[in-house]
Structure 1
Amino acid sequence: MATDKPSKLKASKPKARLPRGFADRGPGELGATRAMLETIRKVYELYGFEALETPFIEYTDALGKFLPDQDRPNEGVFSFQDDDEQWLSLRYDLTAPLARHVAEHFDKLPKPFRSYRAGWVFRNEKPGPGRFRQFMQFDADTVGAPTVAADAEICMMMADTLEALGLAGKFVIKVNNRKVLDGVLEAIGLGGDENAGRRLTVLRAIDKFDKVGIDGVRDLLGPGRWENPEAKSGDFTKGAGLDEGQTQVVLSMLTPGGGEFFPASATYLDGRRELDEIEALVNGAGYQERIRIDPSVVRGLEYYTGPVFEAELTFTVSDEKGRPVRFGSVGGGGRYDGLVGRFRGEAVPATGFSIGVSRLASALSYLKTEAKPEFGPVVVVVMDRDQTAHYMGLVAQLRKEGIRAEMYLGNPKNLGNQFKYADRRNSPCVVIQGSDERAAGTVQIKDLIEGAKAAAAITDNAEWRESRPAQFSCAEAELVAKVIEVLDHHGVPHGDKLG
């Protein structure tokens, strides 16, 4: 009797697919990121900042509603209800959880409280090229310092960090002040709580200046802008609804010398004074070529209350069509004196900077003139199954001296497959020991890097079998020393010993 069981099983088989806005990362990317994070950490600690880790999940009300993409479900965050019906959310940045931590432990922490944090954050936003729903940030913040000296120091630290990563002369830290912007918005009639939403829309329009240009900002300040303006297609972003006069005042801020005619409100003058002080501090410390005042810097998050800053890379790269493209911003931050105060009912001064790790890693990859391969482990092949313990002992000797190594754990029947495996792992060499070598107390070491070079020059199979290029024998007692010689010859790192 026929059965439809196999077809039912096939129909229920899940499809292997990656969610939109997320990415898998391989050993090459992870290795480069790990090295970059270590460099950043050293600079942060040089400035006296200490490590802190907060969880991925926070109570939704603790995070607050500060994201730019508030027209999407959950207002830009991924949220769910706990079994006690309280709403929880994946963190959308590392600053809001810091504010919760400081408020919760306020009386125990030294103030100013200087911390750094690295980790994944999540945005429930529309994904696109280079825009992910999960990405990594590396933040440093000073909480409890009311003067703009703390803002100036953060900017100096960011400059030192980018230089430590090999970007000297290829970046600028741009600084502006939300108080200056607020003073301008007051001047065009957008003061007061009733205009809070429109003010934020205007600020986000200015924040897109580098991406959409002056005409794009004009559209966003007025009726709105299509994703593809010429064809009027794609997503439509609703504008701030400013009239022509208001729009011209705002646009004048984005031009050199613009904004000088604004009414001298107390808010505006306070912002200008803070910018002048920051400029004097960074210039006095010798950072004038790396840090500058720029009126186009806004930052999209609502919680900023004073100076805001952005790290912009100034070199160009080529897109998929070979056209030059400016890489742009790789991090930013600012002063947020009200974020910790949400929990305490009083203002708590705070300032910080966040590096977009994935974007910065991508930028650094463009600067590598010669891509150095990420080498895999030394592979000990298995010639005799009954000698598995002995092969594991050879691997243990290599690992003890800080050499990445592994024994082949697949089906050892086919020796060719073991060599193919080592090639796919980009192994620098393999260790071979059959019964004859074991009886003689020797091993064979095959240098796969030199072997690949030699193979390119050999066209005859008989010659290949006869020469066995880049393969040599040594005493088993010399195994570690000879493998190290191969690794050193090719510049393969090793030496992180166990124990």
Structure 2
Amino acid sequence: MAKPKKTPRPKAQTPKGFRDYFGVEVAGRSEMLEKIARVYHAYGFDALESSAVETVEALGKFLPDVDRPNAGVFAWQDEDDTWMALRYDLTAPLARVYAQHRNDLPTPYRRFAMGPVWRNEKPGPGRFRQFYQCDADTVGTASMAADAEICMMLADCLEEVGIPRGDYVVRVNDRKVLNGVLEQMGLADEAQRDDVLRTIDKFDKVGADGVRELLGKGRLDASGAFIDGVGLEDHQAAPVLDFLTSKGADARETLANLREAVGESDIGLEGVAELETMSALFEAAGYGPDRIDIDPSVVRGLGYYTGPVFEAELTFEIIDEKGRPRQFGSVSGGGRYDDLVKRFTGQSVPAVGVSIGVDRLLAALHAKGRISAESQGPIVVTVMDRDRMADYQRMVAALRASGLRAEVYLGNPKNFGNQLKYADKRQSPIAIIQGTDEAERGVVQIKDLILGAKLAETASLEEWKDRPSQYEVPQADMISKIREILSLYA
């Protein structure tokens, strides 16, 4: 009789496109979200937590490269045959929430939301299927003051989390201006217009000359391969190049150049007027071009938006994995999308919003050394006598009650060296030691583990020779002595 096959053990590995986040990473993200939430709240936005699951019908079809049912989202069919999916962003759920509860919500409705989103796309380096978004949106007003306000709030958020003025710029453009440019080109073929939009989207990579070639016959890329162009004549491509190169010495010059680029196009002139209004509001509120700038080169995501668009770009250099200096780039984007709620209500509802890429922003702060890759662990109360566990628990309770992070060692206490190794692995600043002798005398030993680590790293001990790494103090003075030691490293 054949032996039954053993069920293979599951592999202990993270699913493809996902990752695990440990203590310091989770703490860093939580701290950043708290800071951003404070700015959002100060601007009058209310928090909203919507469901992580929506119907596929409610989510709509807004992800790129979707050529099969439910592609791009993690979807399943419910018991009533309804297709459900994990949300791929925080904006589509907002449209559903607003349409569902609009009679009970104020108009305009100002909300912010933070949380994970999921995309069933091919993962790659730095590209995950689950990531955090941090959004703020105003629904129900067409006023350009709403768009300007979100740009100003975005600038404030960046400074609040630790990106100083001069290391970022919020760049602003308008989809209507581009529509006016396309109108000036006289392109009737929708497919050709889409080709032009895709070409414009490559401006930041290939520059004006590259766009000119791609709008015409084509160009050789860096690998030497020939990329076919759109096939436009020079006079047809000219309005696009005028648009992309219209950045002037200041906002007034840029806006004048844009007005010239759109010619007599009504939609184009409407877009320029929107940018003029926003520019005046930035100036009135004291947000200069060093913080928020009118910039026609902002072209990413234009297909999604119906009016102003903006992105926050970090302008400082970092060193990439190959040792090359490069700019960090965009960490946030947003704009006006007046047609999203219409899918539910049949009526156009104006809306504008922004999404901050939390993980990219954290990576930028790490790259600049503004967030430590390490965090301080808890104070560890060691166990010298397992029969006195109640005493150690009273000790750690007193530490926690005084606002200090602390824990009792819960492993096998037989080997004291292992307890200290555990404390080092936990990056603990201090270990508390109390054996039977210390307990009878009413004292504790306080071991300075930060100093111990420095002594282990330092070739010369001269710097530390006058400072003890362990203190014996009355148990009643334990907390005050701990605070004194911690203050040395504040």
Instruction: Please give the range of the TM-score, normalised by the shorter of the 2 chains.
Output: 0.7 to 0.9
Check the 8 A contact 2:208/2:245 in 1, yes or no: no
Q: 2:74 aligns with which of 78, 101, 111?
A: 78
Tell me the CA shift for residue 468 of structure 1. Answer: 12
- 1:496 — aligned with what? none
- Output the amino acid matched with 1:87: W
SS at match of 2:84: strand
Shift in CA distance, 32/145, structure 1 to aligned 2, threshold 3 Å? same
Tell me the CA shift for residue 247 of structure 1. Answer: 4.7
Q: Deviations 1:75-128 (Å, cap 9, x if unpaired)?
A: 422222112111112111111111111110001101111111111112222222
Q: Deviations 1:413-471 (Å, cap 9, x if unpaired)?
A: 21111111100110001111111112222211111111223345799xxxxxxx99511
CA distance in structure 2 between the partners assigned to 1:414 and 1:152 by the alignment? 63
CA distance in structure 1 between the partners assigned to 2:297 and 2:271 by the alignment? 14
- Output the amino acid matched with 1:179: K
Q: 2:166 aligns with which of 155, 169, 177?
A: 169
Q: 2:122 aligns with which of 126, 135, 138?
A: 126
- Output the amino acid matched with 1:136: Y
Q: Which moved more, 1:372-381 or 1:403-412?
A: 372-381
- Output the amino acid matched with 1:432: I
Check the 8 A contact 2:380/2:407 in 1, yes or no: yes
Q: Which moved more, 1:416-425 or 1:300-309?
A: 300-309
Check the 8 A contact 2:171/2:293 in 1, yes or no: yes
CA distance in structure 1 between the partners assigned to 2:14 and 2:237 by the alignment? 43
- Output the amino acid matched with 1:243: L
CA distance in structure 1 between the partners assigned to 2:269 and 2:203 by the alignment? 24
Q: 1:147 aligns with which of 143, 150, 167?
A: 143
Are 2:52 and 1:48 aligned? Answer: no
- Output the amino acid matched with 1:187: Q
CA distance in structure 1 between the partners assigned to 2:217 and 2:15 by the alignment? 34
- Superposition map of 1:237-248 within 5 A: 241=230, 243-245=232-234, 246-247=236-237
- Output the amino acid matched with 1:147: S
- Output the amino acid matched with 2:280: A
Shift in CA distance, 99/224, structure 1 to aligned 2, threshold 3 Å? farther
**How many percent of aligned residue pairs carry the same amino acid?**
56
CA distance in structure 2 between the partners assigned to 1:421 and 1:469 by the alignment? 22
Gaps of 5+ in 2: 248-256, 461-465
Output the aligned Cα RMSD. Answer: 3.0
- 2:316 — aligned with what? 315
- Output the amino acid matched with 1:385: R
Tell me the CA shift for residue 248 of structure 1. Answer: 5.1
- 2:431 — aligned with what? 430
Q: 2:203 aligns with which of 189, 196, 209?
A: 209
Are 2:256 and 1:256 aligned? Answer: no
Tell me the CA shift for residue 53 of structure 1. Answer: 0.9
- 1:346 — aligned with what? 347
Tell me the CA shift for residue 303 of structure 1. Answer: 3.6
- 2:442 — aligned with what? 441
- Output the amino acid matched with 2:203: F
Residues matched between the structures, number: 473
4+ residue runs over 6 A deviation: 222-226
CA distance in structure 1 between the partners assigned to 2:123 and 2:32 by the alignment? 25
Check the 8 A contact 1:379/1:431 in 2, yes or no: yes
Are 2:325 and 1:324 aligned? Answer: yes
- Superposition map of 1:395-434 within 5 A: 395-434=396-435
Gaps of 5+ in 1: 460-466, 492-499
Shift in CA distance, 223/63, structure 1 to aligned 2, threshold 3 Å? farther
- Output the amino acid matched with 1:445: I
Shift in CA distance, 185/458, structure 1 to aligned 2, threshold 3 Å? closer
- 2:223 — aligned with what? 230
Shift in CA distance, 4/451, structure 1 to aligned 2, threshold 3 Å? farther
- 2:253 — aligned with what? none
Are 2:270 and 1:282 aligned? Answer: no
Tell me the CA shift for residue 318 of structure 1. Answer: 1.0
- Output the amino acid matched with 2:123: P
Shift in CA distance, 272/415, structure 1 to aligned 2, threshold 3 Å? same
- Superposition map of 1:8-23 within 5 A: 9=6, 12-23=8-19
CA distance in structure 1 between the partners assigned to 2:24 and 2:452 by the alignment? 23
Q: 1:28 aligns with which of 24, 30, 54?
A: 24
- Output the amino acid matched with 1:439: E
- Output the amino acid matched with 2:223: E
**What is the TM-score when the length of structure 1 is the normalising length?**
0.86
Shift in CA distance, 369/163, structure 1 to aligned 2, threshold 3 Å? closer
SS at match of 1:348: coil
Shift in CA distance, 40/321, structure 1 to aligned 2, threshold 3 Å? same
CA distance in structure 1 between the partners assigned to 2:25 and 2:455 by the alignment? 29
Check the 8 A contact 2:195/2:230 in 1, yes or no: no
Check the 8 A contact 1:221/1:239 in 2, yes or no: no
CA distance in structure 1 between the partners assigned to 2:362 and 2:34 by the alignment? 13
CA distance in structure 2 between the partners assigned to 1:66 and 1:334 by the alignment? 15
SS at match of 1:253: helix
Shift in CA distance, 224/386, structure 1 to aligned 2, threshold 3 Å? farther
Tell me the CA shift for residue 48 of structure 1. Answer: 0.9
Check the 8 A contact 1:337/1:349 in 2, yes or no: yes
Are 2:382 and 1:393 aligned? Answer: no
CA distance in structure 2 between the partners assigned to 1:63 and 1:24 by the alignment? 27
Tell me the CA shift for residue 372 of structure 1. Answer: 7.4
